[in-house]
């Protein structure tokens, strides 16, 4: 038994962002709030789209107050602006941070309250403005998912807002917009997408559809990512990566993530570590833990990602998965946990608590205790390549 919900119209291809005016008009929308961050604006990705929209008679206002880890206060200001200009929809142009901020603005503008009210269950998710997304990184998949991760400024707590109403209605993916992303960000966001595929495929709440999308995402991402990191202008590799991150979003977006994300989000809360870097650091260690007891499943992952072949035994394929992922992340230039700034073993208790309390812990394929999270964290910290 499963449910799969996917309301977004998806338009994909090099140059497809030029079709935005027609797509938006077809939705009957004439007034838009564009949500982006100062880096994307400076990179020149917003202006051509804004000009196209204005030329076609769509009234726009640009809000570039998006932080790397999106804050509740910016969402509240965005919602005020949305209502002040009588906007009818939000258009996110950017990575996961811009899209998550836009989703939350769309909710607050129509239903009031603060992000904490929804994350803590004090307010129901009711009306929401239409959400339109143009991703500029290949990683998050937020253009097709129902969630947004927002930081509560007063406590630094990372909150997940999650509801079917928060799924975008339009996603336009143009690989051309991702060519200027620097190599280290390409690597980190790309591994985030791979983890979405792996966790969407293996989690306890997966479905045949999430598995199909996850499998295709793994097959697509592993060969493309090193090429996109090596040469950002390789449009074929960029196209494959954007395709892979979309497929991964379609996988976990109707299932869940699991313990790699639980540890990564804990690290992000305490040290502000970029999400993709944190995921990449924990991925091989969590896989090693999960594979114990789920050998055939992890042998399948190894074969999907071409770390092992059909002639390898399950046991051998599972071993090749672990060594393959270790060398894959090192090849991409992902740092070790011990190489990150400010990491202190004194914080490990807090990190373990945060990971264990994460709502996605029960979704991990192998049930996991606090002690086991501690063991994985210690092992990751001691690992020196
Ligand atoms: Fe993620």
- The predicted-structure confidence for 154-191, as pLDDT tens digits, reads as follows 987 888 999 999 999 999 999 999 999 999 999 999 99
Structural domains in the chain plus CATH codes: 9-178 (3.40.50.1970), 183-382 (1.20.1090.10)
Output the CA 261–ligand 1 centroid distance in Å. 6
The pLDDT value given to residue 299? 98
Classify the C-alpha dihedral 317-323-326-329 as positive or negative.
negative
* Cα-to-chain-centroid distance, residue 36: 16
Output the CA 37–ligand 1 centroid distance in Å. 19
The pLDDT value given to residue 169? 98
Output the CA 313–ligand 1 centroid distance in Å. 31
Residue closest to 169 by CA, chosen among 86, 83, 267, 91: 91
The pLDDT value given to residue 340? 95
Name the DSSP class of 97.
H
The pLDDT value given to residue 4? 96
The pLDDT value given to residue 330? 94
The pLDDT value given to residue 156? 78
Output the CA 247–ligand 1 centroid distance in Å. 13
Q: Which value, to the nearest 10 degrees, does the dihedral of the CA atoms of residues 207, 210, 216, 217 take?
A: -140
Extended beta strands in the chain, E state:
9-12, 31-35, 59-63, 89-94, 131-135, 147-152, 157-162, 170-173
Residues with pLDDT less than 70, the chain: none
Output the CA 112–ligand 1 centroid distance in Å. 27
């Amino acid at each position: 038994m499963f449910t799969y919900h996917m309301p977004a119209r998806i338009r994909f291809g090099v140059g497809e962002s030029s079709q935005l005016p027609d797509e938006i008009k077809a939705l009957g929308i004439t007034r838009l709030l564009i949500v982006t961050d100062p880096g994307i604006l400076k990179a020149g990705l917003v202006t051509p789209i804004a000009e196209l929209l204005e030329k076609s008679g769509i009234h726009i206002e640009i809000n570039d107050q998006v932080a790397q880890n999106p804050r509740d206060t910016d969402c509240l200001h965005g919602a005020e602006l949305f209502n002040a200009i009588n906007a009818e929809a939000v258009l996110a142009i950017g990575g996961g941070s811009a899209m998550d901020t836009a989703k939350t603005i769309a909710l607050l503008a129509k239903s009031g309250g603060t992000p904490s009210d929804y994350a803590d269950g004090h307010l129901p998710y009711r009306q929401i403005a239409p959400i339109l997304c143009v991703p500029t990184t290949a990683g998050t998949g937020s253009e097709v998912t129902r969630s947004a991760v927002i930081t509560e400024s007063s406590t630094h707590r990372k909150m997940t807002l999650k509801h079917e109403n928060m799924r975008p209605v339009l996603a336009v993916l143009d690989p051309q917009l991702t060519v200027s992303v620097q190599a280290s960000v390409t690597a980190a966001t790309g591994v985030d997408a791979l983890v979405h595929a792996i966790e969407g495929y293996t989690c306890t709440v997966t479905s045949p559809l999430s598995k199909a999308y996850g499998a295709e995402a793994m097959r697509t991402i592993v060969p493309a990512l090193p090429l996109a990191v090596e040469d950002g202008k390789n449009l074929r590799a960029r196209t494959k990566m954007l395709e892979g991150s979309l497929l991964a979003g379609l996988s976990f977006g109707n299932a869940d993530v699991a313990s790699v994300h639980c540890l990564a989000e804990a690290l992000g809360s305490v040290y502000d570590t970029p999400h993709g870097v944190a995921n990449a650091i924990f991925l091989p260690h969590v896989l090693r833990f999960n594979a114990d007891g789920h050998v055939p499943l992890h042998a399948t992952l190894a074969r999907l990602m071409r770390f092992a072949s059909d002639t390898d035994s399950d046991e051998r394929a599972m071993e090749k998965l672990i060594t393959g992922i270790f060398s894959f992340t090192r090849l991409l230039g992902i740092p070790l946990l011990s190489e990150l700034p400010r990491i202190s073993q004194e914080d490990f208790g807090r990190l373990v608590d945060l990971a264990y309390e994460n709502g996605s812990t029960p979704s991990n394929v192998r049930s996991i205790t606090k002690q086991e999270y501690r063991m994985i964290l210690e092992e990751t910290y001691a690992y020196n390549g």
